[in-house]
Amino acid sequence: MIAVIQRVLESSVTIDKQVYGSIGQGLLVLLCVENEDNDEKIPYMVEKILNLRIFEDENGKMSKSLQDINGDMLIISQFTLAGNTQKGRRPDFTGAAKPEIAKPMYESFIEAVKKQINGKAAHGQFGADMKVALINDGPVTMIVKR
């Protein structure tokens, strides 16, 4: 499982010209389920992302987590994170889990976040053509992999 997380002042996802989900200050999470992933990885990823200390304290140090600031999370499925670009010019996406495996895991990740997050949790729609907007804060971007 791979997650690219971006610290944002706000973010939204639009599907078919309608805003499907939006958040204020918090994290945009682009989530990819890979072939070797299973449900046992979800609790680790949720805990790591919710508690990663990447928000600034009163001294300008990154010592606060999403939970500490009661921040929001927008979760977007992104199979292209599994793209292998080492060979040739066309990415190879065979490392991404098939939709019948990835979709339930994506949905389980969302439900786990909703149960634990202090702020608001929003999400995109698995497999949809999504337009994601964000105001990156910092910018701060991290990769979390398990």
Residue 93 falls in the annotated catalytic set:
no
Residue 16, pLDDT above cutoff 90: yes
Summarize pLDDT for 21-74 with one digit per residue, the tens. Answer: 999 999 999 999 999 999 999 999 999 999 999 999 999 999 999 999 999 999
Average per-residue pLDDT for the chain: 97
pLDDT for position 58: 94
- Is position 126 annotated as part of the catalytic site? no
Is 141 a residue of the active site? no
Asked whether residue 107 carries a pLDDT value surpassing 90, the answer given is yes
Looking at 19-23, 85-89, 106-110, which range is the least confident one? 85-89
How many folded domains does the chain comprise? 1
Pick the catalytic residue from 80, 93, 109, 116.
80
Say which of 6, 25, 55, 79 is annotated catalytic: 79
pLDDT of 110 reads 98
Please state the pTM of the whole predicted model: 0.96
Catalytic residue among 25, 78, 109, 126: 78
Q: Which domain holds residue 35?
A: 2-145
Q: How confident is the model at residue 146 (pLDDT cuts 50, 70, 90)?
A: confident
In sequence order, what DSSP letters do the residues of the chain get, joined into one string? -EEEEEEEEEEEEEETTEEEEEESSEEEEEEE-BTT--TTHHHHHHHHHHH---EE-TTS-EEE-TTTTT-EEEEEE-GGGG-B-SSSSSPB-TTBPPHHHHHHHHHHHHHHHHHH-SS-EEE--TTS-EEEEEEEEEEEEEEEE-
% of the chain exceeding 90 in pLDDT:
99
What CATH number did the domain enclosing 18 receive? 3.50.80.10
